[in-house]
Amino acid sequence: MRRRPHLPARLPVDPYVLALLATVGLAALLPARGTAATVADAASTAAVALLFFLYGARLSTREALDGLRHWRLHATVLACTFLLFPLLGLAARVLVPGVLTPPLYAGLLFLCLVPSTVQSSIAFTSIARGNVPAAICAGSFSSLAGIVLTPLLASVLLSGDAGGFSLDSLLKITLQLLLPFLLGQALRPRVGPFLTRHKQTLGLVDRGSILLVVYAAFSAGMVAGIWERVSPLRLGALLLVEAALLAAMLLATWYGAARLGFGREDRIAIQFAGSKKSLAAGLPMASVLFGPQAALAVLPLMLFHQMQLMVCAVIARRRAADPPAELAVERVAEVSRGPQQAGAPAR
């Protein structure tokens, strides 16, 4: 008799999300104005550059190239992240203006263009007993591709909301995102050991920089009065739309990977890496692409981030609770398909 898996005692409320909400509250009560706003904006610009420098310095090019052996899995994750997600985002345009306001829809569509997560995808894949090395490489590839693809897709699909693909936006993307990232990659052999030794401290720098970006964006939004355009009813509608979006991606990645011939471990990696969006990458990108409108643009991403953590935690534990008999059936099916159909060389 199959034992019914227990749900987690408590759903994960990311402490960092609480810190983000506290930062939003601070910006609402004490928004930066005048000289303080100028200083906050300059500090935010420097923080974005620092973040992408650290992203570049941490990404191991060798590990990424080694992961190309599993190219079908990575191509599937990239297609989910930068093709299927944007298509669903574009389909949601029919909800404007009846369900979503144009600014909220712009934020929802931007959410669909952001790269996948790395840390949480790895964590959930590990809990569910999936292909962890594949999840590591898939998340790294998605982050790397997002440096270029997210701004380009935003410039095409959000032409009116993100300022269009102008020379000014191209210059901002190059100076604040791409150039620091490439500089980090170039200096990785020299700074890599230092980053490894001080990983925990630099993690705090990462998170503190993003909090600064959020404070600057929401302060500008408060001063401009953009929150007067959002009602509780609209926020509730946004949550329902995002729940439907997450459900569609979770189903598509799990059953679509099965149709493509991937085995259980690979399907788990594809589901968690292909259905999630990175808050850490999306927040600074939004500050560059949306400018004063960034506060509303990042709201859907912040809500989606917490939702995906809660839902994926439940799914990961259910996958981990699969009885050995079911796992054995999956193993036999993988062997019968052969390594070519399973999407990778035999491990």
**What is the full DSSP assignment across 175-191?**
IIIIHHHHHHHHHHHHH
How far apart CA 79 and CA 266 sit, in angstroms, is: 15
How far apart CA 343 and CA 131 sit, in angstroms, is: 12
Identify which of 244, 93, 229, 226 has the alpha carbon closest to the alpha carbon of residue 157: 93
Note the pLDDT of residue 342.
Answer: 45
Task: Examine residue 347 and state whether it is found in any structural domain, yes or no.
Answer: no
Q: Please write the tens of the pLDDT for every residue from 265-301.
A: 999 999 999 999 988 788 888 877 777 677 778 889 8
Domain count, the chain: 1
Identify which of 138, 101, 102 has the alpha carbon closest to the alpha carbon of residue 118: 138
Peptide bond before residue 103 is cis, with ω within 30 degrees of 0 = no
Task: Examine residue 11 and state whether it is found in any structural domain, yes or no.
Answer: no
Angle between helices 232-259 and 294-320 (to 10 degrees): 50
Identify which of 281, 258, 342, 309 has the alpha carbon closest to the alpha carbon of residue 127: 309
Q: Please write the tens of the pLDDT for every residue from 97-114.
A: 999 998 899 999 999 999
**What count of residues does the chain have?**
347
Task: Examine residue 25 and state whether it is found in any structural domain, yes or no.
Answer: yes
How far apart CA 241 and CA 211 sit, in angstroms, is: 26
Identify the residue with better confidence: 201 or 31: 31
How far apart CA 104 and CA 298 sit, in angstroms, is: 9
How far apart CA 188 and CA 182 sit, in angstroms, is: 10
Give me the CATH number covering residue 304: 1.20.1530.20
How far apart CA 289 and CA 315 sit, in angstroms, is: 34
Note the pLDDT of residue 32.
Answer: 86
Note the pLDDT of residue 324.
Answer: 59
Structure tokens, 72: 């079908």
Q: Are 67 and 141 in contact (CB under 8 A)?
A: yes
Note the pLDDT of residue 309.
Answer: 84
Task: Examine residue 185 and state whether it is found in any structural domain, yes or no.
Answer: yes
Note the pLDDT of residue 21.
Answer: 80
Structure tokens, 26: 């601070």
Note the pLDDT of residue 282.
Answer: 85
Q: 259: domain range?
A: 20-331
Find all residues with CB under 8 Å of 21, minimum gap 6, and list them: none
Identify the residue with better confidence: 309 or 225: 309
Identify the residue with better confidence: 60 or 135: 135
Task: Examine residue 6 and state whether it is found in any structural domain, yes or no.
Answer: no
Task: Examine residue 343 and state whether it is found in any structural domain, yes or no.
Answer: no
**What is the full DSSP assignment across 205-247?**
HHHHHHHHHHHHHHHHHHHHTGGGG--HHHHHHHHHHHHHHHH
Q: In whole angstroms, how far apart are CA 114 and each of 61, 110, 150, 293?
A: 21, 7, 6, 17
For tokens 């404070």, what's the residue?
215
Least confident of 45-49, 186-190, 219-223, 238-242: 219-223
Q: Please write the tens of the pLDDT for every residue from 52-96.
A: 788 778 766 666 565 567 789 999 999 999 999 999 999 999 999
Identify the residue with better confidence: 184 or 118: 184
For tokens 């609402």, what's the residue?
28
Task: Examine residue 346 and state whether it is found in any structural domain, yes or no.
Answer: no
Identify which of 257, 263, 255, 249 has the alpha carbon closest to the alpha carbon of residue 75: 257
- Phi/psi region, residue 344 (left: phi>0; alpha: psi -120 to 50; beta: rest), is beta
Note the pLDDT of residue 238.
Answer: 94
Task: Examine residue 339 and state whether it is found in any structural domain, yes or no.
Answer: no
Identify the residue with better confidence: 34 or 276: 276
Note the pLDDT of residue 151.
Answer: 85
